[in-house]
């Protein structure tokens, strides 16, 4: 099972939207299955694909050792499953404080289901926490969606420092695999300037394809659908298809 995490310390950058739509395309292409994991207490990925249910066993119960992975996996479609999150995750840090090996809980729990999936895609929390560390530990590739706004480059450099700290403290090697621009407005000079700055700063790691601002991308989670199911002819669908193809051509999938 190849694991990809979408990570950014800034919220609202399109992580969840990218998980859903890149994951959908990946699920259409491969013969195996895709597992989504929602590691964010805001549960945007979960709520974009499932009905709200605070009583549902979720990733919180995985981390607290109350459940095994198979007990918190739910079917989204024929070839996509999810480990959901909930607001219970807001209380997880105190539960894990002082626990030996707490950075490797998710890695250990996923071993039991790894052979059932070809890919795992994790929606990380926009914070540096034990849960985020767990996600990055188990991750093979790290994708960074980044808004083309004024402080975008500085924010990504902070991500690099965070990954360097995790790598040194845990004795593992984690680095950014690729970055791509989201919520991009080609009519906005600042957006275009920051796009160019990101390209200069990160070179081949920064994808040429950008995701434009598109109202259909905002609407589709309301109907628990990917953009390709909701409005397949929209700009959002066109952009994510082009991004998927570029990532694929560069060995990201």
Residue 6: predicted pLDDT? 96
Of 137, 146, 131, give the one whose Cα is nearest residue 40.
131
DSSP 8-state assignment for residue 226:
-
Q: Per residue in 16-58, pLDDT tens?
A: 999 999 999 999 999 999 999 999 999 999 999 999 898 999 9
Residue 150: predicted pLDDT? 80
CA distance 144 to 206: 9
215: CB partners within 8 A, 6+ apart: none
Among 66-70, 148-152, 179-183, which stretch is predicted with the lowest mean pLDDT?
148-152
The total number of residues shown for the chain amounts to 253
Q: CB–CB of 160/194 below 8 Å?
A: no
- Mean pLDDT over 151-158 rounds to 76
If one compares 178 and 159, the residue with the highest pLDDT of the two is: 178
Q: Which tokens go with 84?
A: 């959901």
CA distance 9 to 155: 8
Domains, the chain, ranges and CATH? Answer: 2-250 (3.40.50.300)
Highest-pLDDT range among 7-16, 90-99, 110-119, 169-178: 110-119
Among 5-9, 142-146, 179-183, 226-230, which stretch is predicted with the lowest mean pLDDT?
5-9
Of 172, 147, 176, 171, give the one whose Cα is nearest residue 159.
176
Q: Per residue in 187-204, pLDDT tens?
A: 999 999 999 989 998 999
**Residue 171 above 90 pLDDT?**
no
Residue 12: predicted pLDDT? 79
**Residue 221 above 80 pLDDT?**
yes
169: CB partners within 8 A, 6+ apart: none
Q: Which residue has the tokens 């040429």?
A: 208
Of 12, 9, 13, 21, give the one whose Cα is nearest residue 230.
21
Counting Cα atoms < 13 Å in the Cβ hemisphere of 92 gives 28
If one compares 96 and 233, the residue with the highest pLDDT of the two is: 233
Provide the whole-model pTM: 0.94
DSSP H helices, 97-142, are 105-110, 130-138
Q: Which residue has the tokens 């590739």?
A: 141
Q: How confident is the model at residue 246 (pLDDT cuts 50, 70, 90)?
A: very high
Of 117, 139, 97, give the one whose Cα is nearest residue 35.
117
Residue 149: predicted pLDDT? 85
DSSP 8-state assignment for residue 119:
E
Q: CB–CB of 60/88 below 8 Å?
A: yes
**Residue 161 above 90 pLDDT?**
no
Pairing of β 80-83 and β 74-77: antiparallel
């Amino acid at each position: 099972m190849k694991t990809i995490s979408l990570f950014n310390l800034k919220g609202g950058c399109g992580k969840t939207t990218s998980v859903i739509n890149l994951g959908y395309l990946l699920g259409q292409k491969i013969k195996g299955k895709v597992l989504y994991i929602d590691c964010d207490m805001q549960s945007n990925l979960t709520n974009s694909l499932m009905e709200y249910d605070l009583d549902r066993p979720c990733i919180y119960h995985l981390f607290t050792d109350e459940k095994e992975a198979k007990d918190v996996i739910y079917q989204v479609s024929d070839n996509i499953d999810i480990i959901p999150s909930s607001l219970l995750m807001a209380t997880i840090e105190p539960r894990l404080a002082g626990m030996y090996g707490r950075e490797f809980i998710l890695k250990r729990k996923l071993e039991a289901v790894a052979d059932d999936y070809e890919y795992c895609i994790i929606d990380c929390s926009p914070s540096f926490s034990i849960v985020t560390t767990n996600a990055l530990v188990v991750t093979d590739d790290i994708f960074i969606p980044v808004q083309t706004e004024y402080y975008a480059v500085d924010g990504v450099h902070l991500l690099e420092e965070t990954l360097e700290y995790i790598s040194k403290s845990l004795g593992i090697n984690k680095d950014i695999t690729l970055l791509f621009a989201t919520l991009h407005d080609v009519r906005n000079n600042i957006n275009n300037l920051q796009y160019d700055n990101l390209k200069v700063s990160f070179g081949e790691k920064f994808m040429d394809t950008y995701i434009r601002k598109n109202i259909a991308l905002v609407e589709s989670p309301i109907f628990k659908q990917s953009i390709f199911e909701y409005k397949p002819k929209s700009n959002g669908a066109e952009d994510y298809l082009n991004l998927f193809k570029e990532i694929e051509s560069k060995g990201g999938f």
